[in-house]
Structure 1
């Protein structure tokens, strides 16, 4: 029975890696569609969401089945509960990539609007967080997970700078307000993807140490 559970967890691990790959590609394509004004890439991202949703349901159902059939304890129990949460985070990342793509398509109606250059370093930072969050989970590396969480502050800073630039643009050129709002929405979705990567890292720390670190800063202030 233990060998069957080990094999099933190994298969789930592969499924999660595949899901990570699809979602990471969706994020990259959604940003390209925004910066390069490529509605074809935006449509490709949106079309991929059905596959992510189907994978999300299948992975969660398999995790729940293993919990019910094998009643695992200790490390196996932690792994399965962590996998369920990370699976949900990936599905939400995919939804946010679709949101960026929708904003990209909306910007097609504003050909004179230029996406601020400040978006580029933010994109790089977010994609790096997503990749490292996967590495931390697969390698059960809590130190790497801590680095991912710390990186979120840099993404927040870059997001604030981008928003300030967009606000300045709207003040100077009211005709650009609608386009700037679409760009603002895309930036916000990108920032939320970073939050999801941080959550994956938090769950990795739980997987490795058994410690729940969510809301730690909030609790320290109250």
Structure 2
């Protein structure tokens, strides 16, 4: 495989990772919108879209393994392939968290929400931004952008703490709120974990570009 052909293959992998990230953004949006509106059919579609994400993960993984076996890349190229393999694992897990949110929507069914959802949709929007920007940073190999994205996790943590405080208050006020309140607590936790996975992507990007480990607190 010529150097030019190999470079094109690496670029193809990057673009497929970007496509996978767009699909993950979409299922996060779908899952939270389904919860907010009580849209059962939309929640079911999240499962279908997640299956597509899983298939793309397998495809990217196979292409990465081919690059490793055929070329035995060194230094930077090796880090790019290994980073891509790590990234798709993070993205697949984000998709799983979106499925978990959709599952909660199906469990709640037509039961009225105990409160209007405000912070949870805001968290989801920030998570979607983090996914998109972290993958932009990956494709562009932009360390500064990665650092900025990682800092956005602080907003998510603060919003999650606020959600926990509010839901615990509602649960304490009315025993009837316990079941659904607990489910909504899990939704906040799933979104918080999605943000953590984007932070992982940012850390791995720094390693890919510099060869040095970086941990964002």
TM-score (norm: length of structure 1): 0.92
The CA deviation string for residues 134-180 of structure 1, in whole angstroms up to 9 with x for no partner, is 11111111011011111111101110100110000000011011011
Question: Residue 10 of structure 1 aligns with which residue?
Answer: 11
Offset of residue 44 of structure 1: 0.8
Mapped partners of 2:26, 2:125: distance in 1: 13
Q: CA deviation at 1:3?
A: 2.0
- Distance in 1 (CA, whole Å) between partners of 2:191 and 2:46 is 14
Tell me if structure 2 keeps the 8 A contact 1:30–1:98. Answer: yes
Q: Using a 3 Å threshold, how does the CA distance of structure 1 residues 178 and 158 change in structure 2: closer, same or farther?
A: same
Q: Which moved more, 1:54-63 or 1:113-122?
A: 113-122
The aligned counterpart of 1:125 is: 126
2:126 & 2:7 partners in 1: Cα distance? 35
Shift of 1:115: 4.1
8 Å Cα contact 1:110/1:179 also seen in 2: no
- Asked if residue 31 in structure 1 is aligned to residue 52 in structure 2, the reply is no
* Aligned partners of 2:29 and 2:125 also within 8 Å: no
Give the drift of 1:26. Answer: 0.5
Determine the structure 2 residue equivalent to 1:49.
50
- Displacement, 1:61? 1.6
Three-state SS of the structure 1 residue aligned to 2:152 is: helix
Aligned to 1:207: 208
Question: Structure 2 unaligned runs (5+)?
Answer: none
Alpha-carbon RMSD across the aligned residues, in angstroms, is 1.4
Do the aligned partners of 2:15 and 2:139 also contact (CA within 8 Å) in 1? no
Segment drifting more, 119-128 vs 142-151: 119-128
Distance in 1 between residues matched to 2:117 and 2:63, nearest whole Å: 43
Matched, 1:90 2:97: no
Gaps of 5+ in 1: 218-222
Deviates more, 1:27-36 or 1:120-129: 120-129
Q: Distance in 1 between matches of 2:188 and 2:29?
A: 13
Assess if the C-alpha contact under 8 Å between 2:28 and 2:124 holds in 1.
no
Say if 1:173 and 1:117 are closer, same or farther in 2 by CA, change over 3 A: same
Matched, 1:19 2:20: yes
Q: CA deviation at 1:109?
A: 4.6
Counterpart contact for 1:170–1:180, Cα < 8 Å: yes
Q: CA deviation at 1:78?
A: 1.1
Question: How is 1:45-84 mapped onto 2 (pairs within 5 angstroms)?
Answer: 45-84=46-85
Aligned length: 216
Contact kept, 8 Å, 1:146 with 1:201, in 2: the verdict is: yes
